[in-house]
Every structure is written in structure tokens, then in C-alpha cells.
Structure 1
Amino acid sequence: MAYSEILADRIRKALAHLPNIEEKKMFGSLAFIVNGKMCLTAGPQRIMCRIDPTLHELQLKKDGCTKVVMGGREYRGYIHINEQSLEKEKDFEHWIKLALEYNIQLTKN
């Protein structure tokens, strides 16, 4: 299944004020790469956020969140959030903010 164009557009608009944004199709999703680091993806009926791994367990407790598992391996610091849990703008903005905050940490190193 292809990624959600609606979610991709929402992410694109949320990142429009930033320089150095690249979009790349990968793993059936559209990845948004900020400052050379994968930050967010739009997938089918969900987004994936790359967040500070120290926040992983706490953020998984939020409605609509699941661990990212690929090839049987859990990726700490990567969380899927289903589309229904992103309907309210404040909820969507929460995930964008967490992903961008972690991206700043990654690019400082």
C-alpha cells in the first residue's frame, strides 16, 4: 500500500519553514530527511517519528502509538502513530515537535 498523500502534505507543510528538507521514497513510505537525518515518514494511514530514545517508552503510552519493528527487530526511538490519533492539530504538532527536537540533537554531533 502506498503512503498517505494527506499525511505527507501535512508533514510537508509543518516542515516548510525549514531549510535542508529532502523527500525520499523508502519502505513503502515517504521519508522526510532534515539536515541529512531521517526525521519523519508518511506511510499508509500512519506516520513514523524519530524521537529521542530516552522518550520512547513514555511516548508509546499515547493512544495510537506502536513500536517500529522491521525484520523482527524493534527500533528504539522510532514510533508509528496511526492517522486517527493525528486528527487534532495539537496531537500532530506534538509529534512534529518531538521529531524536530531530536533532529537538532542528532545534527549537533
Structure 2
Amino acid sequence: MAYDAGLAQRIRERWAADPEVSEKQMFGTVVFLYRGNMAGGVTGDDLMVRVGPAAAEAALARPGTRVFDMTGRPMRGWVVVDGAAVAEDDTLSAWLDEGRAFAASLPPK
């Protein structure tokens, strides 16, 4: 599966100053990890964000979101945000902040 290289580059630029963020190619897409825990990534033209199970319902109520389901089995605590919904840098940053905040709540790997 190909992914939106432009969206991936915007994420790289947003997190470039944070030495605790790393990038990894997985399953034909790119993911970003904070202290070794996945925080988000790009799937196709869309952003995937790890918000955690407690925040998933509220996240899914926001515009342009849907359940993250790559295999026919939804991923708890993850949402997919339509690429068009994160066209503005402020909106992308807000989602990335949520993903990093959840990853930061987990023990480092």
C-alpha cells in the first residue's frame, strides 16, 4: 500500500525537533513512534492517530474521522483522519499532539 509522502513529510517537519520521535516503515506505510510507542502515521492519503481507548469515541465524533481498520478487525484506540481534514497545519498539529500525548503516557520501549 502506498502512502502520501507529502503528509509524511509534514509530520517529519512537525516532529523534527523532538529527538524522542522516530520513524519506521511498517506494512507498506510509515509510522512515527514516541519513545518507542506508536503515536501516528500515514495510511494511504490519510493520517492515523493513536488516541487511546478512552479518547477514541470523542475523536471519532470529530469531522473526517473513522475507525482504523486495516484487516477487518478495528484497532482499539486508533482513528483515521481523512487527509483533506488535516490540510491545515494547525489541525494536523492538534492531531499529532494527541497521538504523542497518548504515546507519552505509556512506558518507553
1:49 and 2:55 aligned: no
Distance 2:108 2:33 in 1: 15
What is the Cα-based RMSD across aligned positions, in Å?
1.7
Distance 2:7 2:107 in 1: 25
Distance 1:53 1:37 in 2: 15
Unaligned runs of 5+ in 1: none
Q: CA deviation at 1:35?
A: 0.7
Distance 1:42 1:58 in 2: 21
Cα contact 2:20–2:35 (8 A) shared by 1: yes
Q: Which SS does the other structure have where 2:105 is aligned?
A: helix
TM-score by length of 1: 0.90
Instruction: Map residues 85-96 of structure 1 onto 2, 5 A cutoff.
Output: 85-96=85-96
Instruction: Map residues 1-109 of structure 1 onto 2, 5 A cutoff.
Output: 1-107=1-107
Which aligned segments of 4 or more residues in structure 1 are displaced greater than 2 angstroms?
Answer: none
Seen in structure 2, the aligned counterparts of structure 1 residues 34 and 95 have a Cα distance that, compared at 3 Å, is: same
Q: Judging by fraction of residues, say which structure has more strand.
A: 1
Unaligned runs of 5+ in 2: none
TM-score by length of 2: 0.90
Aligned positions, number? 109
